[in-house]
Amino acid sequence: MDIVHVDVHRPQPLALDVLPAAGADCLMSSYCLEGASPDLAAFTRALGNIGRLLRPGGHLLLIGALGMSYYIAAPGLKIPTVPLNEAQVCASLKENGYTLIRLEVYTLPQDMNVKFDDGSGVFFVKAMKK
């Protein structure tokens, strides 16, 4: 197993020899794309870029935050994120040729807000690359 550099903002996010030529069967991103993207347009492009790594019929498992504009990574280190909503996630997937198989949303109860971020919930996506 290797650790490889991925740049979701490049049209070819990985070196060409990292994956089989046909593409990956499955990719998973957990709380990454909204933190790596400065705005919704960049988030949408990043979804398209990683989609190029999937084989046709391959699956994307995506977990992310809803409504979160920042998170506190360490004392004094506030990281900006794209505050997404459910409709934006679905539209970004569709724009990039994914078929949404399942979307689950978990809304955070107020008593779970620990003040490390301003998120309102979490989304879980299973999508297939057309």
- b/e map 91-109, b = 16+ CB within 10 Å: ebbeebbbeeeeeeeeebe
Task: Summarize the confidence of residues 98-123 as an average pLDDT.
Answer: 89
Q: What pLDDT was estimated at residue 115?
A: 78
pLDDT digits (tens, 9 = 90+) for 81-99: 999 999 999 999 999 999 9
- The structure tokens listed for 7 are 């740049």
Task: Summarize the confidence of residues 5-9 as an average pLDDT.
Answer: 92
Beta strands in 1-130 (DSSP E): 24-30, 54-66, 70-74, 77-80, 98-107, 121-129
Q: How confident is the model at residue 1 (pLDDT cuts 50, 70, 90)?
A: low
When mean pLDDT is compared across 6-20, 45-59, 64-78, 109-123, the lowest value belongs to 109-123
Look at residue 129 and tell me whether its pLDDT is greater than 90.
yes
Where does 24-129 sit in CATH, by number?
3.40.50.150
**Residue pointed to by tokens 């998973």:** 28
What are the extents of the domains in the chain?
24-129
